[in-house]
Amino acid sequence: MKIKKYWIAIQTEKNGKYSAAALPVTESENIYKKLAHIPGIVSANIYSTKTEAARVVLAWRDGFRAAGCYMWDTMEDGSPAPF
């Protein structure tokens, strides 16, 4: 029997800045336990494919950048990110 994989699009917040990422999970994993260890998690939406989750993550990131609150646009000291 093949174990089904799902993807969770997550949002995290730290000091008023937001980030988004996709996290793979299988149908046999304890999702609560996996998500409970992510600091600053504010949202988690589950999708059946990586493509769907990635589409949502990119939309969230674009929204964070447009609002000026994307976590990785600046360093913790407020200076511009080198990447």
Predicted confidence (pLDDT) per residue in 42-76, tens digit = 999 999 999 999 999 999 999 999 998 998 876 66
Q: What's the pTM?
A: 0.83
Residue whose token pair is 């504010």: 42
Per-residue pLDDT at 78: 66
* Phi/psi at 81 (5° precision): -70, 140
Q: What is the pLDDT of residues 7-45, one digit of tens each?
A: 999 999 998 999 999 999 999 999 999 999 999 999 999
What are the structure tokens assigned to 5, written together? Answer: 């994989």
* Phi/psi at 40 (5° precision): 75, 15
Per-residue pLDDT at 1: 75
Per-residue pLDDT at 2: 85
